[in-house]
Structures are given as C-alpha cells and as structure tokens.
Amino acid sequence: MLRQIIGQPSEGQKETGRVEAPAPVSFADRGPSFTAPAPAAQPQRASSYNMTSSKNVLANDVEIKGSIKFSHDLIIDGKIEGEVHSDGSLTVGENALIKGEIRTRSVIIFGKVEGNITVTERCELKSNAILVGDIEAGTLSIEEGATFMGASKVGRKPEPAKPAPLGGRPAAPAQP
C-alpha cells in the first residue's frame, strides 16, 4: 500500500515506464562532501517601504511612556503617554491613544488624544477623532463626526508690538 502512495509499483504490478526518483540516502551513507551547493537565487521582492523614507511608523502594538522627539514625519497607531515634540508632521492613527501634550508643525488626528495640541501650521480632526484638550493652530479643520472638548485658538500669531522710539514722543495711534 505504501508503494502505491509514493508511486512505486508493488510486487504484483507491472512497471508503467515512469522514471522514479531514487530513494533518499542518509548523510552517513553519502560520505564526506567538500563542495557547497550553489545558493538559490533570491526572488526580487517588491518593497513598499523605502529605507530613505522620512516617514516613521509606530505600530498599534507599541506602547511608550515618556517623551518622543522626531524631525520629519511620524505616524503613531499605538499608545503614547507623554509629550510629543517635533518640527515635522504627526499623524495619529485610528487605533492610537496619546495622553499628553503635542507640539508639532502639523497634526492629523484619526484616533484619540487626551492633552493640549500646539501646531504652527495645520491641525485636522478626522471624522472618528476624539480630542479632549485645547488646540492652538495656524489653521483648524474639523470633520463632521469628530469629537472636540476644549478651547481653540486659531490663526497666525500676531507680530509683536514695536516699542516707542527712545527720546521721542510716543507714536500716535493710526486713525481709521
């Protein structure tokens, strides 16, 4: 029966003319071998991740307690408890939970943030976003369905007031 399964004719069957593979030989029966087999050609894999990419990703199984600093773009889909500071852009993924202050150039929120956000450019709250904290941003976009509990201060920071010239009269206020 075993010969039928592996394709060898049984004692009572006629040979079919097939070429059979030889039976395996154990390493002890082969004797010493001094030549290494040629390495198999590795198939080229298409990689969707570019090693020179400036986007960094913290996956949803990552949990960090402490502050994070980065310089380009960061996508967080895990849990962060602490401050996030950067001159780059932050994307808070759907599964993310950030408990702490965020200070970046821009931020896009799909997940949950519990803390204040200060961005120099744009803050976007997507439809499933939850933000419990204050926002200070150049521009603010809130999609329908997003939850925002806090205060917002939107717009470019005003130019600092120029001091009055020394030794002279104070400048008169401009008349409309």
Per-residue confidence (pLDDT) for residue 167, from 0 to 100: 58
Per-residue confidence (pLDDT) for residue 56, from 0 to 100: 85
List of the chain residues with pLDDT < 70: 1-54, 157-176
| Dihedral of the alpha carbons of 138, 142, 146, 151, in degrees to the nearest 10 | 40
11: alpha, beta or left? (left if phi > 0; alpha if psi -120 to 50)? alpha
In the chain, the amino acid numbered 54 is S
For residue range 75-105, list pLDDT tens digits in order: 999 999 999 999 999 999 999 999 999 999 9
Report the distance separating Cα 143 and Cα 78, nearest Å: 22
Per-residue confidence (pLDDT) for residue 47, from 0 to 100: 44
Per-residue confidence (pLDDT) for residue 156, from 0 to 100: 72
Per-residue confidence (pLDDT) for residue 159, from 0 to 100: 53
Asked whether the whole model's pTM tops 0.85, one would answer no
Per-residue confidence (pLDDT) for residue 45, from 0 to 100: 47
Two tokens at 132? 């419990």
Per-residue confidence (pLDDT) for residue 28, from 0 to 100: 52
Number of other CB atoms surrounding residue 141 within 10 Å = 12
DSSP annotation string for the chain: -HHHHHTPPPTTSPP-SPPPPPPP--HHHH----SPPPPPPPPPPPPS--TT--EEEE-TT-EEES-EEESSEEEE-SEEES-EEESSEEEE-TT-EEES-EEESEEEESSEEES-EEESSEEEE-TT-EEES-EEESEEEE-TT-EEES-EEESPPPPPPPPPPTTSPPPPPPP-
